[in-house]
């Protein structure tokens, strides 16, 4: 009986917490980080949609600044993400703005049927609202996220390539059936960061979730997702392949593949031994629930270094 309840408890945690919410012990830290950011809202089809915005105290001269939009995981909130990713600190250092939007009812409409909200419209409205208040560079707007937020970043690459210069997806690949309907208006650069031991989003593709919580649709494998974007971006050259040196001995190793074309690039970081986590971030739930958080890669800085040279044509 104890084993049965252990399985039920683990399934419950997987299905409602691990995809985006944070344990109570870390919530104060996340709230403290979010408190430094501005709270705003926009109207989307008569619905008020909220987001946090971080604006560095010192912007780089009079030049328009890049904007990075960070999408939380399923069940999470925008206020989770400043402390979870530490994007604010990097934005202060590098001189870009960061937005942390909130989904409706905890889930983004990423193509898996988890939401029917007009999140593409929300993304457009959010960008427009920020551009009214701040001098952002319209050619350097980027999207990233974890889990449900990472799946949604893939949808943005499909449906909002006229506004988004590049995307990065953490603990998420291409969701099904988005791959059958995705028709981006141009080549777009894509970065994936995925753990080999992710218990919710299988790196080999399949059903998303855990146990009885596997009603969250399906995903393409990491390899098939990268191939999808290489084909769309017309990249035929072989990849460069690297194994990054271990910075710490935490049971994880980083493998990098990079395909570079004439108009876009596709980069894949495979976290050997990594779980459903943000590399370089906190171990927000025990390893037996979400897997291991690698400290051999700083996902936030890696994503920004990928975004930094890229812009809309």
pLDDT at 125: 97
207: which 2 tokens? 């059903």
**Alpha carbon separation from 51 to 144, 267, 274 (Å, rounded):** 15, 28, 30
Q: Which strand ranges, in their side-by-side order, compose the sheet holding 65-71?
A: 38-44, 47-54, 97-101, 65-71, 136-146, 166-170, 189-195, 265-272, 253-260, 240-244
Domains of the chain in start order, with CATH, are 2-307 (3.40.50.1820)
Report the share of the chain in percent with pLDDT over 90.
Answer: 80
Measured from the Cβ of residue 293, the count of other Cβ atoms closer than 10 Å reads: 23
- Average pLDDT in the 221-236 region? 97
pLDDT in tens, 50-96: 999 999 988 766 789 999 999 999 999 999 999 999 999 999 999 99
pLDDT score, position 114: 82
The mean pLDDT of 192-219, rounded to a whole number, is 86
Going by pLDDT thresholds of 50, 70 and 90, the confidence category of residue 20 is: very low
Q: β-strands 65-71, 47-54: how paired?
A: unpaired
pLDDT in the model for residue 63: 86
- Residue 1: what pLDDT? 44
Interval 2-13 mean pLDDT: 39
d(C-alpha 192, C-alpha 22), whole Å? 22
Q: What's the DSSP call for residue 33?
A: H
pLDDT value at residue 35: 59
Sequence-ordered alpha helix ranges (H) in 44-86:
81-85
């Amino acid at each position: 009986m104890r084993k049965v309840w252990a399985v039920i408890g683990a399934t419950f945690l997987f299905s409602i917490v691990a995809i985006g919410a944070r344990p109570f012990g870390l919530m104060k830290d996340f709230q403290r980080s979010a408190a430094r950011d501005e709270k705003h809202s926009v109207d989307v089809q008569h619905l008020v949609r909220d987001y946090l915005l971080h604006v560095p105290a010192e912007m780089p001269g009079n030049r328009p600044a890049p904007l990075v939009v960070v999408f939380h995981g399923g069940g999470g909130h925008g206020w989770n993400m400043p402390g979870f990713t530490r994007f604010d600190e990097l934005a202060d250092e590098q001189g870009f703005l960061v937005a942390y939007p909130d989904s409706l009812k905890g889930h983004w409409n990423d193509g898996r049927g988890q939401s029917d909200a007009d999140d593409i419209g929300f993304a457009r409205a959010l960008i427009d609202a920020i551009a009214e208040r701040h001098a952002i560079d319209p050619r350097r707007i980027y999207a990233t996220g974890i889990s449900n937020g990472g799946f949604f970043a893939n949808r943005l690459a499909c449906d909002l390539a006229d506004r988004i210069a590049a995307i990065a997806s953490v603990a998420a690949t291409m969701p099904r059936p988005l791959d059958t309907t995705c028709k981006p208006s141009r080549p777009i650069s894509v970065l994936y960061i995925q753990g080999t031991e992710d218990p919710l989003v299988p790196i080999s593709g399949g059903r998303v979730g855990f146990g009885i919580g596997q009603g969250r649709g399906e995903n393409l494998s990491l390899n098939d997702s990268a191939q999808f974007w290489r084909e769309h971006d017309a990249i035929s050259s072989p990849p460069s392949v690297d194994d990054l040196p271990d910075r710490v001995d935490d049971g994880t190793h980083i493998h990098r593949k990079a395909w570079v074309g004439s108009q876009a690039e596709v980069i894949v970081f495979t976290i050997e031994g990594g779980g459903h986590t943000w590399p370089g971030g906190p171990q927000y739930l025990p390893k037996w629930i979400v897997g291991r958080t690698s400290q051999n890669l700083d996902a936030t800085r890696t994503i920004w270094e990928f975004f930094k040279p890229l812009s809309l044509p």
